[in-house]
Structure 1
Amino acid sequence: MYSLNKKNIFVVIDSIFPQKDPFAFRNAEINEYIKIIKNFKAYSMPIIYPDNDAWFKHSYGVSKLMYKDNKKGYTRHYPKNKKSIEYLDINKKYKFSLAYTFFLGETYTLLPYLESNEIPFVFVLYPGGCFGLNNIGSDKMLKKIFDSPYFKGVITTQKITTDYLIQNKLCDASKVEYIYGGFVQFRKNDIKQKLIYPTDKKTFDICFVAAKYSEKGRDKGYDLFIETAKILSLKIPNIHFHVIGGFNEEDIDITEIKNKIHFYGYKKPDFLVEFYKSMDIFVSPNRPSELFQGNFDGFPLGIDAGYCGVALFVADELNMNTKYIPGEDIVIISLKPQEIADDILMYYNDLDRLYMLSYLGGQKTQALFDLDKQISQRINYFKKFATIEFGKNK
């Protein structure tokens, strides 16, 4: 092992960045750091397995061959960022001023490497990523990270996470930084003029947007969405349903609505801004603790849609909502398809109310998830531990 002296470099180490087809929140966040921080580098994580104390066994990271292919695709979209991205070499001893990582599972897997290189680090504890409430395995992993002499702090994005860490004495409160929210893939000037039903379009459009992590997408409530769609298709003749993400017509029988449902697969931001201008309602009947004990999603799901002015109809089984006003800028739904359908029908029959809710929800989401606001809060936190040099990244 030989030394690579980069003491003044602030880095992100990530398992999926860069992506061959860049999309989603990590891409948005890391690109901002590249753009505005002069002494910043993004490192792609090699394939690393966790130690035997982890409650999961899968690896994180990519091979160097895949990294090269991903970077080639990524730089077609962001050619100016090429020199700011490297592959983490486990045979080198790095001396970074500060490393920043995402999620529990990924950070835990990197922990031995960070410690052997004596790299101070902070991480963001998003929901998901092997983090579970009242999950013994998850708690042990958290404690091991928090006890590291190189751990400097953790960013939490949901109040439920902040309370859990502090009330269960997993982490000293002084090392927990609560920054609500996350990253959308757009800025305000990307948003398109919303199409209003029935003035601007002939169909009433409802969307479901999620990755597929389980059979029938139970964790995201895809099965409930389909059942709701079947009920609504009998009530609203000109209704259409739209699915973006990891689902297709083979996951659940859609015979009853096959002429009214459309599948798109995963899509990039430039498609989504066009897509969302035609959507009336985003539905997310997501369930906690489906993937593993204590698993949960951030609230609300669908911030990209909400940011673009789509009405958010979302579940909140853990009572995580602290920012929105139900019935004014968001609709909190149950996990019962008939009740979800009834909520949608009520707003369908009062379109003025629906579009006012869409507008107010869009304004609220844009304020909460403003990209510059999210970035500045994080950078101010990083500055407690490292020198951040602003300017063009070379």
Structure 2
Amino acid sequence: MVNVPSPYMVNYFNELGKYCELTVLFDKATSTERDDSWKEYNFKNFKGIILKGVSTDVDAAFCPSVIKYLKKDVYDYIFISNMATPTGIIAIEYLRWKKIDYFLESEGGFAKDGKGFKEKIKKHIMSGAKLYFSTTPVGDEYFLMYGATKDKLVKYPFTSIYEKDILKKVPSVEEKKEFRNELSIKEEKVIITVGQFIPRKGFDILLKACEKLSKNIGVYLVGGTPTDEYIQMKEQLGLDNVHFVGFKRTDELAKYYQSADLFVFPTREDVWGLVINEAMAYGLPIITTDKCIAGLELIKDDENGYIVPVEDVDKLYEKMNKLILNDTLSTKMGENSLKKIHEYTFENMAKVHMDFLTTYSENGSR
């Protein structure tokens, strides 16, 4: 059970569906805050069902119809990753009532202090699962805060890429120049970031950090339409080397990644941050914040990038400047990104799940 058929999750389910008879229940057909590409899904290797219900948020709905699918002994395993939506809550309460085992799965989350009414409700909803599938130690702490015990935690790799998406090697200087020429990029060095122009992504922090960068370093923000706030900030800071690039298809975005020397993701909070996976697959060193779970899991300081304190403009500039001016260090970190990201593919994500469930079943624990 998930909230919407996002492209990366549909790709994962198509991979997982090669190894089992898979049914996926979706709250809604798409998220209203996403572009039209999210509507172009293909349920190839699994049975995908869009539940009927009432929309309650951009990517959530109230679908009482979910209950008719949750019958005992129909499925060997039930995974719930939409535990925060009304539909997920209905499902959890029903499964508890009927004493049907289920697993909770999350890409990540930051635990709060566990105090207050909302936190108690959260603990009630999340406690009681048979197992908890988590992506990182930070995700473990999240589950432990809200009802899990250490013996019920299972680790899995979360991703948005196939093995074939990972470059064989870091693009050479000449190859990067070819992509830059195709994209009409004039600067000698290129920093890229990808995401929506919303406060949570921290692009205002990036713009402030760019003020001291050399003007021969181009900074490209790809994926969204800037609001007046960002346009005005760019003008006020005199950032002629900062460029706002709108939404790009996957093949177009790939050219920007391969033209770049560095990927920066200054998020204020991301429960994962799949752009980290994607940038690593293109052999880029990464700079992100200590509020990005993908960064905390995939990035090691001085190995394939840096983790900087959230909203720390000076530290972000310092690390950006250090990497962008050192070709040898940047290339070495990009190579390390390529090595690391091979563990985080749809193929391995499906394999880890199936290997665990096979062992779990053989041990008579089901």
Fold shared, TM-score > 0.5 on shorter chain: yes
Q: How far apart in 1 are the matches of 2:333 and 2:149?
A: 40
Aligned-pair CA distance for 1:224: 0.5
- Aligned partner of 1:293 in structure 2 is none
Q: Give 1:115-264 correspondences, 5 Å limit.
A: 115=96, 119-128=100-109, 132-136=111-115, 139-148=119-128, 151-166=129-144, 168=145, 170-179=147-156, 181-189=157-165, 191=167, 194-197=170-173, 200-201=176-177, 203=187, 204-211=189-196, 214=198, 217=199, 219-232=200-213, 235=214, 237-252=215-230, 253=232, 254-255=234-235, 256-257=238-239, 260-264=242-246
Q: How far apart in 1 are the matches of 2:47 and 2:305?
A: 39
CA contact (8 A) 2:29 2:39 kept: no
- Aligned partner of 2:267 in structure 1 is 286
CA contact (8 A) 1:301 1:314 kept: no
For 1:115-173, what per-residue CA distance to the aligned partner results, in whole angstroms no more than 9, with x for missing partners? 56765321212334xx642243564244323444xx3211111102324544x582232
Q: How far apart in 1 are the matches of 2:330 and 2:132?
A: 38
Aligned-pair CA distance for 1:103: 4.8
Aligned-pair CA distance for 1:309: 0.8
- After superposition, the Cα gap between the structure-2 partners of 1:361 and 1:297, relative to the gap in structure 1 and judged at 3 Å, is same
For 1:338-380, what per-residue CA distance to the aligned partner results, in whole angstroms no more than 9, with x for missing partners? 332232222232212111111112212x233133222211223
1:32 and 2:7 are equivalent in the alignment:
no
- After superposition, the Cα gap between the structure-2 partners of 1:200 and 1:307, relative to the gap in structure 1 and judged at 3 Å, is closer
1:312 and 2:286 are equivalent in the alignment:
yes
- Aligned partner of 2:61 in structure 1 is none
- After superposition, the Cα gap between the structure-2 partners of 1:386 and 1:86, relative to the gap in structure 1 and judged at 3 Å, is farther
Aligned-pair CA distance for 1:324: 4.3
- Aligned partner of 1:100 in structure 2 is 79
The amino acid of 1:332's aligned partner reads I
Q: How far apart in 2 are the matches of 1:37 and 1:138?
A: 39
Aligned-pair CA distance for 1:174: 2.4
Aligned-pair CA distance for 1:16: 1.0
For 1:282-335, what per-residue CA distance to the aligned partner results, in whole angstroms no more than 9, with x for missing partners? 1122235xxxxxxx5348961211122111011226998466431122222343
Q: Give 1:50-89 correspondences, 5 Å limit.
A: 61-62=28-29, 73-74=39-40, 78=42, 80-81=44-45, 84-88=47-51
Secondary structure at 1:368 match in 2: coil
Q: How far apart in 2 are the matches of 1:326 and 1:197?
A: 24
For 1:157-211, what per-residue CA distance to the aligned partner results, in whole angstroms no more than 9, with x for missing partners? 1102324544x582232222133x4112332355386544477425321112234
- After superposition, the Cα gap between the structure-2 partners of 1:74 and 1:384, relative to the gap in structure 1 and judged at 3 Å, is farther
Q: How far apart in 1 are the matches of 2:98 and 2:229?
A: 45
Q: Percent identity?
A: 16
Q: How far apart in 2 are the matches of 1:302 and 1:323?
A: 8
- After superposition, the Cα gap between the structure-2 partners of 1:140 and 1:272, relative to the gap in structure 1 and judged at 3 Å, is farther
1:16 and 2:16 are equivalent in the alignment:
no
Q: How far apart in 2 are the matches of 1:162 and 1:74?
A: 33
- After superposition, the Cα gap between the structure-2 partners of 1:113 and 1:37, relative to the gap in structure 1 and judged at 3 Å, is farther
CA contact (8 A) 1:192 1:277 kept: no
Q: How far apart in 1 are the matches of 2:174 and 2:314?
A: 25
- After superposition, the Cα gap between the structure-2 partners of 1:314 and 1:174, relative to the gap in structure 1 and judged at 3 Å, is same
Aligned residues: 324
Gaps of 5+ in 2: 53-63, 178-185
CA contact (8 A) 1:28 1:183 kept: no
Aligned-pair CA distance for 1:93: 2.1
- Aligned partner of 2:180 in structure 1 is none
Structural RMSD (CA): 3.6
- Aligned partner of 1:367 in structure 2 is 342
Q: How far apart in 2 are the matches of 1:247 and 1:208?
A: 13
CA contact (8 A) 1:231 1:338 kept: no
TM-score of the pair, normalised by structure 1: 0.69
The amino acid of 1:262's aligned partner reads F
Secondary structure at 2:40 match in 1: helix
The amino acid of 1:369's aligned partner reads Y
Higher helix share: 2
> In terms of mean alpha carbon deviation, does 112-121 or 36-45 score higher?
112-121
Secondary structure at 1:185 match in 2: coil
The amino acid of 1:304's aligned partner reads E
